[in-house]
Structures are given as C-alpha cells and as structure tokens.
Amino acid sequence: MRIATWNVNSITVRLERLLAWLERSQTDVLCLQELKCDAAAFPAEPLRAAGYEAAVHADGRWNGVAVLSRVGLTDVTRGLTGGPAFNGSAEPRAVAATCGGVRVWSVYVPNGREVGHEHFAYKLAWFSALRETVARDAAGRTPFAVLGDFNVAPTDHDVYDIARFEGATHVTEAERTALTELRGTGLTDVVPRPLKYDRPFTYWDYRQLCFPKNRGMRIDLVYGNAPFTAAVSDAYVDREERKGKGASDHAPVVVDLALEAD
C-alpha cells in the first residue's frame, strides 16, 4: 500500500496537478492539507472519477484537510477531541479515516506566526489536543499514522540554515517538545529511512529562489505506530512535484507499506 501526505496549497488551483500526480504515483491513500475551499466546493466528482473516495473537513478559509482513498474509507472523524478554537473558530485542521485496514489522520498544525503571539499559544494547545486524540490509536495493534504539515522542523538538520531561524517559530524548544510528546504516545518519525535525497526538505518558500537554491525545511511528517513502522518498505519526498509552473510550495511525502493480507 502506498500512503502519502501533501500540503496542496489550494486544491482548486492544484487539481489538474493533483490528478496527474495520483495517476503517476499510484498512491492508494493521500492525506491533503490547506485545501482553501469549503466542503461544497471540494472537487469530489473528478476525484471519484479517478477512483478515490474522500473524507473532507473544510470551511473555505486558509485551512481544510482531506483523506483520499482508493482502498476503502470508513470510520471518518472530523476535528480533535477537545480541540482549541482560535478567534472563536474551531478551524478544520484534522480529519481521520480507516483505509484498507490502516488508520490515518491528516493534520494541518497551526503555523504559530510569531513566538509569543496568541497563535503560537494556540499551536501548542492544538498539539496537546492532537496528542490526547491519537493516544489510543497510537498504542493499538492496527497500523496507524498521523500525516501532514506539522509546521515544525524536528531537528536543526531539517532546515537549510538554523542560524537564519534564530528566534523564529518552527524550530523552538516548545514546538519540538510538542513533537516529542506526540511521539511519546507510541509514534515514530518513519521518513528518515531509505531516502532519495540527502536533505529531504518538504517545503520551500516561493520567494528568493528558495527551491532552486534548496533553502527548504522538513515540516511535512509521517508519524506511525509500531505496526505501521514495521511495515514500511520505502519512504521518500517527491521533490519532482515541487518543480514547474503552478506547483505547491510543499512536496508530497510518500511511504510504502508491505502489509500482510487479512
């Protein structure tokens, strides 16, 4: 089974590329973030014609998440248990589904904006709710993973130049502690396994030629429990999809699983 995550940065703008990538990559389950559309505007019909069901959690703002599957889609959950609100809004940043015997969460963690900003406190509270929500599944026997844009670089090696991030979000001790606590539920970062690039960044700003200069960050992550991690046969960042006109500023992260048949 091939499972992937991709911050598509507007599914409406990126639909043609998304459909082409699904065909080319032969992905079975795809977690999407930053849909930038509401549920009614989600392109369910073109995706269904391509063979994919969809679980969507979106309201048309700058957020929105989905799980696409061509191997079945059941037990959909939208939102986190006890998830915090920001400015009175419970933003659509998390959706879960069971696909082909694997349980996945697609998550779009708040950016945090600036250290000390109320959005930064919201980000940490959101991480806490995520940890509490997934703890039972993480400790279970079913292959389980949390995939998405975590807006945190786990280590200094996951940014192109740590000195340029001094005092900024995405690399603070508090954010990395939140990741550590999430892993403490029984999850492992599965992507630093066989990789096709020495520095597998997943995000490059559109500005200042960041992609051609490889000034990126690894903030799109796959955290799997023990049954999920034991089944991983390959993992890579599809850097090629970041190239060309109309690309998202994030690249897909792909994980292959060798699962035993029921």
Do 63 and 119 meet the contact criterion of CB atoms below 8 Å apart? no
First to last CA, the chain: 14
Binding residues for Mg(2+): 7, 34, 149, 151, 249-250
250 catalytically annotated: yes
Do the beta carbons of residue 31 and residue 5 sit within 8 Å? yes
The pair of structure tokens assigned to 129 is: 């709710």
How far is CA 70 from each of CA 23, 54, 141, 169, 241, rounded to the nearest angstrom? 12, 9, 23, 36, 21
Question: Which residue among 28, 52, 108, 203 is the active-site one?
Answer: 108
Binding site per annotation, positions: 7, 34, 149, 151, 249-250
Q: Which of 24, 22, 82 is nearest to 54 (CA)?
A: 22
- Verify whether residue 57 is a known catalytic residue: no
Residue 215 tokens, joined? 């000034």
Tell me, yes or no, if 236 is annotated catalytic: no
Q: Which of 28, 52, 137, 149 does the annotation list as catalytic? A: 149
Select which of 170, 236, 238, 250 is catalytic.
250
Helix (H) or strand (E) holding 234: strand 232-237
- Which of 41, 96, 38 has the alpha carbon at shortest distance from 63? 38
Residue 15, judged by CB atoms within 10 A of its CB (0-12, 13-18, 19+), counts as middle
Residues belonging to the active site: 108, 149, 250
